[in-house]
């Protein structure tokens, strides 16, 4: 959930096509790569929810929000205008944080939904950084797989196995940055992340980021700073 109190930016999809974006938006799980083109004065604040939290708090079917940025006004109505105005008028970042904290607290208290096994499973996948056998986990929970997968899709937006893949790639990118992995030395990394072999690792990484691991390291400014320091 993002509130933009500065100038809006452009989003380009994996085909390098400009995708219109609204000032305030709600986005679900992204399964495709994209790029941002940022110009002018930037000012934004957002909330990164636990994987099933938006559905638990707001009751929204998250499969409808995968790979899109949807106008918050269209989703939650006129209350968003009031929140947006208060954020725009706030003098400090802490004030903006407090505004969103209070807004979400009220929403959570009014919600009649409670965290369930879907929340537990999604949070466990996050905790395990996607390195988890989802099939064995569902067996341990004694759940009906088709029904559970439908519930997971409703609350998270993708299947449990696909969400584990997303989390694993995200964690992998952070490891590549923080531990300064050498471009041609992937063997230990592949083993740690549970990939079958190097080709499986490269295929998975490229599918999510749009670039091979080597090209990602070379072109990513943040990672390049690590490598050159």
DSSP string, the chain: -EEE-S---EEE-TT--EE---SEEEE----S--EEE--S---EEE----TTHHHHHH---GGGGTT-EEEHHHHHTTHHHHHHHHHHH-SSHHHHHHHHHHHHHHHHHH------HHHHHHHHHHHTTT-S-HHHHHHHHT--HHHHHHHHHHHHSS-HHHHHHHHHHHHHHHHHHHTT--TT--HHHHHHTT-SSHHHHHHHHHHHHSS-HHHHHHH-HHHHHHHH-
Q: With 50 as the cut, is the pLDDT of residue 228 above it? A: no
Least confident range of 11-25, 146-160, 193-207: 11-25
Could you give the C-alpha distances from 23 to 42, 47, 86, in angstroms and in order?
Answer: 12, 15, 15
pLDDT score for 14: 72
What's the pLDDT band for 177 if we cut at 50, 70, 90? low
pLDDT score for 184: 54
CA separation for the pair 159, 154 (Å, rounded): 9
| Mean pLDDT along residues 99-105 | 94
Q: With 70 as the cut, is the pLDDT of residue 185 above it? A: no
Taken in order of first residue, the domains within the chain and their CATH numbers are 2-110 (no CATH), 117-228 (1.10.10.60)
What's the pLDDT band for 107 if we cut at 50, 70, 90? very high
pLDDT score for 31: 84
| Mean pLDDT along residues 41-51 | 90
pLDDT score for 176: 72
What's the pLDDT band for 181 if we cut at 50, 70, 90? low
217 dihedral zone (left: phi>0; alpha: psi -120 to 50; beta): alpha
Query: If you average pLDDT over every residue of the chain, what do you get?
Result: 84
| Mean pLDDT along residues 89-102 | 95
Percent of the chain with pLDDT over 90: 44
| Mean pLDDT along residues 16-45 | 82
């Amino acid at each position: 959930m993002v509130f933009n109190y500065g100038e809006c930016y452009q989003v380009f999809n994996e085909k390098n096509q400009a995708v219109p974006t609204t000032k305030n938006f709600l986005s679900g799980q992204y399964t495709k790569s994209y790029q941002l083109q940022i110009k002018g004065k930037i000012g934004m604040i957002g909330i990164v929810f636990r994987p099933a939290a938006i559905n638990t708090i707001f009751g929204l079917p998250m499969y409808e929000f995968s790979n899109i940025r949807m106008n918050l006004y269209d989703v939650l109505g006129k209350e968003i205008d009031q929140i947006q105005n208060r954020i725009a008028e706030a003098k400090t970042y802490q004030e903006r944080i407090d505004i969103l904290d209070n807004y979400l607290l009220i929403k959570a208290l009014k919600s009649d939904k409670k965290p369930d096994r879907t929340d537990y499973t999604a949070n466990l996948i996050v905790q395990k950084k996607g390195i988890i056998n989802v099939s064995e986990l569902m067996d341990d929970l004694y759940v009906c797989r088709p029904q559970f997968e439908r519930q997971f899709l409703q609350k998270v937006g993708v299947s449990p196995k696909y969400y584990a893949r997303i989390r694993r790639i995200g964690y992998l990118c952070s490891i590549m940055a923080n531990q300064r992995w050498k471009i041609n030395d992937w063997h230990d990394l592949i083993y740690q992340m549970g990939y079958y072999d190097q080709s499986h690792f490269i295929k998975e990484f490229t599918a999510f980021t749009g670039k091979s691991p080597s090209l990602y390291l070379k072109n990513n400014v943040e990672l390049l700073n690590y490598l050159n320091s």
